[in-house]
Amino acid sequence: MSKVLGLFLVAIFSIAYTQLVNGHSLRGCQTRCGSVSIEYPFGISTGCYYAVHDSFNLTCNETTNELFFGNMQVVNYSHSGELRILMSRSYACYNRTRVAETISYNTNLRSFTFSNKNRFTAVGCNTFAFMTTIFEDRNYSTGCLSTCDSIPKENGVCSGEGCCHTSVPKRSKRFIIRSSSFDRDVSVNNFNPSSYAFLVEEGMFSFSPSQDLQNLRNVTKFPVVLDWSIGNQTCKQVGNTSICGQNSLCLDSTTRDGYNCKCKAGYDGNPYLQEGCQGTMF
């Protein structure tokens, strides 16, 4: 390849690259951690995330290539205001050592609350599980009960035989989840040594009695949805001080206070950046 052609290609490539980066993140900011792409208002280093509330600060573990939001692992997120994380399950095991673990999840962050797309789910025979949550500064508790004396026959049914679930209120900031068991005898322990309880995004857990009563197919973390927005004011209240860029719209969050941004029809990119929304026709 001639030197001139080479330089030309480098120049073309740099221009394309710069625009690509500008379309989704601020220049000079890390755009990827493992398989998750990182886009403003989220970011890793100072100057790369929206800093009016500290909440958009993520960390990338360079060893495992996993992205974290505080101590929660991030799966992905959308411009429209959802963030998917992985969260552990609580359990109570009835083997010789008899161990139990209560799980608490916390987002004491202004810009995030748990979505009502999550389901509180418990798995086990003769299991009761309960959760306490704080939403709109009030305490709220609920739970569910599941019984069985043998392995249920039907797959994918979670309605009280080996598995139960219930909905959760939106705008929750904190969850405490416990599971426990009653009337346990040795015959049940053989096929169901533990009771589990967890939050999981609707549709992301399908109960398989023969596998899940044993040990939840070894799954220890489930996807959970958080709702996020910018600030706590409506689009009308923030007026032209919203962070939504050119060719984008400000939309009041439907799940919490604050707003989200969206590119106008015919534009694509990151609506949270000044020049993020770019025409899809050229």
Examine residue 271 and say whether the peptide bond preceding it is cis (omega within 30 degrees of 0): no
Among 142, 232, 246, 274, binds ligand NAG (CB under 6 A): 232
Q: How far is CA 215 from CA 91, 177, 193, 194, 203, in A?
A: 10, 18, 8, 7, 20
Task: Please state the closest distance from residue 105 (CB atom) to ligand NAG, in A.
Answer: 15
CB contact at 8 A, 165 and 158: yes
Task: Please state the closest distance from residue 75 (CB atom) to ligand NAG, in A.
Answer: 5
Q: Which is nearer to ligand NAG, 79 or 165 (CB)?
A: 79
Residue 239 DSSP SS3: helix
Q: Which is nearer to ligand NAG, 161 or 201 (CB)?
A: 201
φ, ψ of residue 189 in degrees (nearest 5): -55, -30
Q: Which helix H or strand E contains 189, and what residues bound it?
A: helix 186-191
φ, ψ of residue 67 in degrees (nearest 5): -95, 135
Contact flag: residue 46 with ligand NAG (CB under 6 A): yes
Contact flag: residue 2 with ligand NAG (CB under 6 A): no
Contact flag: residue 169 with ligand NAG (CB under 6 A): no
Among 1, 28, 97, 265, binds ligand NAG (CB under 6 A): 97
Q: Which is nearer to ligand NAG, 223 or 269 (CB)?
A: 223
Interior angle at CA 201, CA 143 and CA 72, nearest 5 = 95
Stretch touching ligand NAG by CB under 6 A, among 8-16, 53-61, 122-130, 245-253? 53-61
Contact flag: residue 65 with ligand NAG (CB under 6 A): no
Report d(CA 198, CA 205) in Å as an integer: 10
Residues lying near ligand NAG in the complex (CB under 6 A): 46, 54, 57, 59, 61, 63-64, 70, 75-76, 84, 93, 95-97, 99, 137-139, 217-218, 223, 232, 239-240
